[in-house]
Amino acid sequence: MTHTPTDPPRRPASGALVPVLAFAGIVVAVMQTLLVPVIKDLPQLLDTEPSDATWVLTSTLLSGAVATPIMGRLGDLYGKRRMLVASLAVMVVGALVSAVTSELMTMIAGRTLQGFAMGAIPLGIGLMRDMLPRERLGSAMALMSSSIGVGGGLALPAAALVAQHADWHTLFYGAAGLGALAIALTLIVVPESPARAAGSFDLPGALGLSAGLVLFLLPITKGSDWGWTSGTTLGLFAAAAVVLVLWGVMELRLAAPLVDLRTTARPAVLFTNLASIMVGVSFYVVSLVLPQLLQLPKSTGYGLGQSMVVAGLLVAPLGLTMMFTAPVYARLSAKYGPKVTLIIGMLIIAIGYGAGLGLMSAAWQSLVIAVVLGAGIGLAYSSLPALIVGAVPASETGAANGLNTLMRSIGTSVSSAVVGMVLANTANTVNGVAIPTLHGFRVSFLIATAAVAVGLLLALFLPGRTPAAAEPRLRAGSEEDANLERAEEALRGFHGRVLDAGGAPVAGARVTLIDPRGRRAGAALSGDDGGYVIAVPAQGAYVLAAKASGHGPLASAVTHGKDEQAVGLDLSLPGETVTA
């Protein structure tokens, strides 16, 4: 019997799938937060200048921004579980490289590899969409989306404790261990997704996007060091604009682009991504301000004089509250839709920052701010993947969520640059040391409030949904749901059932749409009832090919006319074939 590598394993998803994928997201957040407790000591630890030491953080940001959409697309094409394991494996290698060095360039190389872990978030969300029934998907995606905050909240005090009482390289060994555990659990628990996108990997598109992102994010992260009006900063911004425009023109002309810009331009996707930038800005401001406010000495008149570990514990509820909002999000979204949930989350964030302007005089007040902001950010973050998943085809889930995760990363990068500039320009110099001021902290909170206000405005432009349709069109949990999905999607292409020689349905058959040039224009796997649906890119003549293990292949010439929408066609496979 023949067996093709495109036929994915069909192990059922276990109850441990969601916790394992969420744990992978937490590992990513731990990697990002790892060096926060020792940021100020990096120049001494690496025996370098402060401006050079910042590359240890910048390199991770840049590689994560580049890897996220690319790994998402590779997951759509070749398997999301496979790419999730690959992302975590590269992170483990990077952590081990960083664990054995105190030399700047080697450390930067290790941290660059660690940035590849960022791809785990969109890949995990994509796996959930492909594997879980509707009733579990909302809360599961909410937990996965919030895991970045959960991991950050848990890692901050833990990393501070390690940094205070052990060699700082221990942080990297710990991250490598967590990454290896996440890989093992993924291989044991998570089955490979059967969903595959049509087409091949767009290498020129990946290189173009990578170049454009690096040219754009580099001056954002280094602008305060180079000068915002310097020739280097402005030149890189201009180069980024040129490269990204040319990349966009090229992507629009490709049959299988890295990022489908036409899909990205849909209002549901476009305004979600723009709102994601604002949510990223608001999330990072509190992470930058509260730890500094808590650790400044009381002699400043406004510092709260807490140790590194205590400060981490007081900020930790930010991430923990995000985790606890996942089931709350699921209930709200089921009743009102993810758009309303996003708006509610942003309103809570605005309340948190507004109250925070007057709650900076005691440690317990920082705890209150962290809890309120965690609740708002948790609701907002949980809404974003649901909005994306509900607006794109299943075959583009990984790439679309990768782009959305990238938008959040851009928000945090912009936040870091702007808040860093504000705190530096408002600082007081005492004995040659720049001390952030209370005024700088409050201006930072006002910036976050303004970002949330912009995000709220963008969210209002999102298409509305009735409560009954609030949950996105996700993987069907029953045959009835599957039939409904097929009926909707068949309005744009071919649909029918794959049958064997006796007329019985064939599940897991590979159905491929081939255009007149011999290129694959679409692909699908038949469901348990043999049903398949394939959308057509344009009217015209095609060939529908079908194959399944234990059956002979079939190819049928078909035509999709100008005025046709749904074209029904059952495919009958010949009897079993045996090959040597």
Q: What is the C-alpha to C-alpha distance for residues 286 and 272, in angstroms, rounded to an integer?
A: 22
Average pLDDT of the residues of the chain: 79
Q: What is the C-alpha to C-alpha distance for residues 565 and 201, in angstroms, rounded to an integer?
A: 29
Q: What is the C-alpha to C-alpha distance for residues 562 and 297, in angstroms, rounded to an integer?
A: 73
Length of the chain: 580
Q: Which pLDDT score, from 0 to 100, does residue 135 have?
A: 66
The continuous run of DSSP H or E covering 416 comes out as helix 397-425
224 or 111: whose pLDDT is higher? 111
pLDDT, tens digit, for every residue of 132-175?
Answer: 776 677 677 777 777 776 776 677 777 777 777 788 888 899 99
Q: What is the C-alpha to C-alpha distance for residues 546 and 506, in angstroms, rounded to an integer?
A: 11
pLDDT-based confidence at residue 538 (cuts at 50, 70, 90): confident
Q: Where do the domains of the chain lie?
A: 17-202+254-464, 487-572
Q: Which pLDDT score, from 0 to 100, does residue 566 have?
A: 66
Rounded alpha-carbon distances, angstroms, from residue 266 to 199, 257, 275, 342: 21, 16, 14, 18
Residue 10 one-letter amino acid: R
478 or 156: whose pLDDT is higher? 156
How many other CB atoms are found less than 10 A from the CB of residue 28?
A: 31
Q: What is the C-alpha to C-alpha distance for residues 459 and 7, in angstroms, rounded to an integer?
A: 40
- Mention every residue, 6+ apart, whose C-beta is less than 8 A from residue 178: 27, 30
pLDDT-based confidence at residue 576 (cuts at 50, 70, 90): low
pLDDT, tens digit, for every residue of 484-516?
Answer: 444 444 446 788 888 887 778 888 888 888 877
**Burial (0-12, 13-18, 19+ Cβ within 10 Å), 355:** middle
Beta bridge partners of 405: none
Q: Does the pLDDT of residue 105 top 70, yes or no?
A: yes
Pick the CATH number of 17-202+254-464 from 3.40.140.10, 1.20.120.140, 1.20.1250.20, 3.40.50.720: 1.20.1250.20
Q: What is the C-alpha to C-alpha distance for residues 232 and 226, in angstroms, rounded to an integer?
A: 7
Q: Which pLDDT score, from 0 to 100, does residue 196 have?
A: 73
Task: Give me the mean pLDDT over the 83-96 stretch.
Answer: 94
Nearest 5 degrees, angle CA 152-CA 153-CA 158?
90
- CB of 190 closer than 8 Å to CB of 17: yes
23-27, 295-299, 472-476: range with lowest mean pLDDT: 472-476
Q: Does the pLDDT of residue 90 top 80, yes or no?
A: yes
pLDDT, tens digit, for every residue of 366-385?
Answer: 888 888 988 888 888 888 87
pLDDT, tens digit, for every residue of 249-288?
Answer: 998 888 777 777 777 788 888 888 899 889 888 877 887 7
Nearest Cα residue to 56 out of 96, 119, 106 = 106
- CB of 531 closer than 8 Å to CB of 495: yes
DSSP 321-369: HHHHHHHHHHHHHHHH-HHHHHHHHHHHHHHHHHHHTT--SSHHHHHHH
Q: What is the C-alpha to C-alpha distance for residues 461 and 508, in angstroms, rounded to an integer?
A: 40
Q: Does the pLDDT of residue 243 top 90, yes or no?
A: yes
Q: Which pLDDT score, from 0 to 100, does residue 394 have?
A: 62
Residue 277 one-letter amino acid: I
DSSP 482-533: HHHHHHHHGGGEEEEEEE-TTS-B-TT-EEEEE-TTS-EEEEEE--TTSEEE
pLDDT, tens digit, for every residue of 35-81?
Answer: 877 777 788 888 887 767 778 877 887 788 788 888 888 888 888 89
Q: Which pLDDT score, from 0 to 100, does residue 258 have?
A: 77
Fold of domain 487-572: Immunoglobulin-like (2.60.40)
